[in-house]
Amino acid sequence: MRPLLLAPSILAIALLTAGSHAETVLVSNEKGNSITVLDGESLTVLKTIPVGQRPRGIVLSRDNRLLFICASDDDTIDVLDLDDYTLKEPLPSGPDPETFALHPDGLHLYVSNEDDSLVSIVNIKERRVVGEIAVGVEPEGIGISPDGRWVVNTSETTSMAHFIDNESHKIVANVLVDSRPRHAEWTSDGVEVWVSAEVGGTVSVIDAVKREVTHKISFAIPGVPNEAIQPVGILLTRDRKWAFVALGPANRVALVDAQSYEVKRYLLVGQRVWNLAFNRDQSRVFTTNGISNDVSVIDVAAQRVIKSVAVGEQPWGIAVRP
Amino acid sequence: MVVHRAIAVCSLLFIIAAVAFGAERMRFWNLTTTTIKELYLAPAGTTQWSVNQCKNDADGVVDPDERLTITGVTPGKYDVRLVDKKGRMCTVANVEIVTGRPYAFSISDKQLSNCSTKP
């Protein structure tokens, strides 16, 4: 009888354990040459793992078991196994990889090679570069449409968002945006692409079908000079209600109504806020603050910063493993 | 004779490769929070300023976190003078410029204490 009575308890414990699997926040430290692992609930540092030189963009594999890391000064993509935190054999990347995006097929990484004005396509399974697309000078942000058909790449010096047909690998449209575009973020429905301009100080909202700028969002913070307002990272909620925009040395994240395109609030975070990531249920936003060497945590519902956590030297990229 | 020539050619190629590698690695890393419009180097304690190194950049300025290729200098200690987007002219003394790593030197906000408005 006793084993039968115990069985439901064991099952309940197993379910609870599975359900309470903690999220981890992964941060690349550009000058520290490391990845910091934070517990997503307690917000404490679990580990710091040495990786290649100048780690910047990071992205999770589709099964969330691997972290791909642009090791810019090593000209490779490091591969970190998140089950045992060991580095696997790196992937090729083309020179000076800075940012990248994972195609929805989970097999291809699209990498910005800043020094060569190229987007390299890396097949993860075959471990080789399977395509190169010539783009504008100093390519930076990469965003792939939810259906995987279109890639948008921003080029910093050319100040353009290039729309690339993912079947032909040809540029089909160049959309002029403001100076030094850094990040391209698709809405979850694939209708719009939001592009930040670091020097221009704006976010351009592009109609993904017409490939035209339909709205331009500007920022003004009392007491902060305009030149300090440098938009970089962008996050959009799945329901398209809100956007979060990192404003660099303005040390603020702008909260934007994604329907009216109005800035509703500025949230004070750490110094030179650069990139952003949601947790799984989008109740929190994590920011990397490159000068203050920390991560700020924003409570989305309360629209306020609830904590900052010290990480490594010059935090840059961020991802949350569910 | 042939062997000597081969050695000489190999040595020359080695030197060229070493110089090329060294030149490739001489890069400044802007760790300040401001865009740098002009950047000059002079051997420490002198006023023998180099040409404006920002001219080596594709768009002629060095944005925050950007790298800039440095030309016409060899490793050693230098004074660095820069002009940023705000119009500040700052001098940072005794900066060590090294080779053999991805960047030759960096400057952060903390080092920008000796500044004035550019005339």
- Residue A118's alpha-carbon distances to A49, A132, A154, A157, A275, in angstroms, are 30, 6, 11, 13, 22
Strand A45-50: give its sheet, edge to edge.
A45-50, A34-39, A24-29, A315-321
Rounded to the nearest angstrom, the minimum Cα separation between A14 and chain B is 47
Res B118: pLDDT: 66
For residues A184 and A154, is the Cβ–Cβ distance under 8 A? yes
| pLDDT (tens digit per residue) in A45-77 | 999 999 999 999 999 999 999 999 999 999 999
Confidence of residue B71 (pLDDT cuts 50, 70, 90): very high
Res A213: pLDDT: 98
Question: Nearest-5° angle of CA A214, CA A202, CA A305?
Answer: 115
Res B15: pLDDT: 46
Rounded to the nearest angstrom, the minimum Cα separation between A32 and chain B is 13
Of B5-9, B63-67, B103-107, least confident by mean pLDDT is B5-9
Res A95: pLDDT: 86
Do residue B34 and residue A180 have CB atoms under 8 angstroms apart?
Answer: no
**pTM of the entire predicted model:** 0.87
Give the amino acid at A152: V
- Calculate mean pLDDT across residues A229-233: 97
Q: Is the pLDDT of residue A18 over 50?
A: no
| pLDDT (tens digit per residue) in A144-183 | 999 999 999 999 889 999 999 999 999 999 999 999 999 9
Do residue A228 and residue B33 have CB atoms under 8 angstroms apart?
Answer: yes
Does A31 reach chain B within 8 Å, measured CB to CB?
Answer: yes
Q: Name the nearest CA neighbour of A230 among A174, A154, A179.
A: A179
For residues A33 and A50, is the Cβ–Cβ distance under 8 A? yes
Looking at chain A, which residue has its C-alpha nearest residue B58? A157
Res A173: pLDDT: 97
Name the percent of chain B lying above pLDDT 70: 77
Looking at chain A, which residue has its C-alpha nearest residue B108? A291
Q: What is the DSSP string of A163-230?
A: EEETTTTEEEEEEE-SSSEEEEEE-TTSSEEEEEETTTTEEEEEETTTTEEEEEEE---TTS-GGG--
For residues B78 and B42, is the Cβ–Cβ distance under 8 A? yes
B22 against A210, higher pLDDT? A210
- Calculate mean pLDDT across residues A260-275: 97
Residues of A in contact with B33 (CB under 8 A): 228, 248-249, 271-272, 291
Res A96: pLDDT: 86
The pLDDT mean for chain A works out to 93
A123 against A15, higher pLDDT? A123
Do residue B85 and residue A198 have CB atoms under 8 angstroms apart?
Answer: no
Do residue A30 and residue B58 have CB atoms under 8 angstroms apart?
Answer: no
Res A12: pLDDT: 45
Q: Is the pLDDT of residue B16 over 60?
A: no
Res B8: pLDDT: 54
For residues A208 and A191, is the Cβ–Cβ distance under 8 A? yes
Q: Is the pLDDT of residue A2 over 50?
A: no
Does A117 reach chain B within 8 Å, measured CB to CB?
Answer: no
| pLDDT (tens digit per residue) in A171-222 | 999 999 999 999 999 999 999 999 999 999 999 999 999 999 999 999 999 9
Do residue A248 and residue B35 have CB atoms under 8 angstroms apart?
Answer: no
Rounded to the nearest angstrom, the minimum Cα separation between A72 and chain B is 10
A12 against B89, higher pLDDT? B89
- Calculate mean pLDDT across residues B30-54: 96
Res A227: pLDDT: 87
Q: Is the pLDDT of residue B6 over 80?
A: no
Which tokens in the block code for residue A173?
């449209």
Name the percent of chain B lying above pLDDT 90: 66
Give the whole-angstrom CA distance, residue A249 versus residue A246: 9
Q: Is the pLDDT of residue B19 over 90?
A: no
Mutate to test the interface with B, among A115, A140, A227 (most CBs of B within 10 A): A227
For residues B88 and B116, is the Cβ–Cβ distance under 8 A? yes
Chains A and B form CB pairs within 8 A to the count of: 36
Of A3-17, A287-301, B33-47, least confident by mean pLDDT is A3-17
The pLDDT mean for chain B works out to 85
Confidence of residue A8 (pLDDT cuts 50, 70, 90): very low
Give the whole-angstrom CA distance, residue A36 versus residue A113: 24
| pLDDT (tens digit per residue) in B100-117 | 989 999 999 999 999 998
Confidence of residue B45 (pLDDT cuts 50, 70, 90): very high
Q: Name the nearest CA neighbour of B50 among B58, B59, B39, B36.
A: B39
Q: Name the nearest CA neighbour of B28 among B87, B115, B111, B88.
A: B111
Q: Is the pLDDT of residue A114 over 60?
A: yes
Does B56 reach chain A within 8 Å, measured CB to CB?
Answer: no
